[in-house]
Amino acid sequence: MYLEDFPVGTRWSAGEFTVTAEEALEFASRYDPQPMHTDAEAAAKGRFGELIASGWHTAALVMGVLARARLFGDTEVLGLGVDQLQWPTPVRFGDVMAVDVEVVGNRPSESKPEFGIAKLKTVARNQRDEVVYSMISNCWVPRRPV
């Protein structure tokens, strides 16, 4: 598959995942050890009233769903960077996330015309249909040979 196979407006449902307390606590204790993620007593007194998952854990879980979904088939896709990353709603233990992707930009590379850049908007929503994660990323994708 090539850049030309993914015009702006192409959409996918990439899959779902559930945020478990065990995984969220393990991730946070290793990579984001803030009390809102690791200390139930402190979190209960905080702004969310309970433990919440780290946004970085959510990002890692979304990446896992995307990699397993193989949206570009066997085509190797390289991430070039992120234009936007947001966590507008906290993720709570037990939340079930649905991940959707849309191509919001698509252009040939200026420096390497055999490749192009697909701009993808990835959104994860919980079971209450609240957006908990939103990212706009740029991916390096091969172009169809001439």
Please state, in angstroms and rounded to a whole number, the distance separating the CA atoms of residues 69 and 77: 13
Q: What angle do CA 87, 102, 12 make, to 5 degrees?
A: 105
Neighbours of 133 (CB within 10 A): 22
pLDDT tens column, 3-16: 999 999 999 999 99
User: Would you state the pLDDT for residue 5?
Assistant: 93
Average pLDDT over residues 120-144: 97
Task: Name residue 11's beta-bridge partners.
Answer: 102
What b-and-e string marks burial along 50-61, b requiring 16 or more CB atoms within 10 Å of the CB? Answer: ebbbbbebbbeb
Query: In degrees rounded to 5, what are phi and psi of residue 100?
Result: -125, 150
Q: What angle do CA 96, 102, 104 make, to 5 degrees?
A: 145
3-142 belongs to which homologous superfamily? Hotdog Thioesterase (3.10.129.10)
pLDDT tens column, 65-124: 999 999 988 888 899 999 999 999 999 999 999 999 999 999 999 999 999 999 999 999
Average pLDDT over residues 45-50: 96
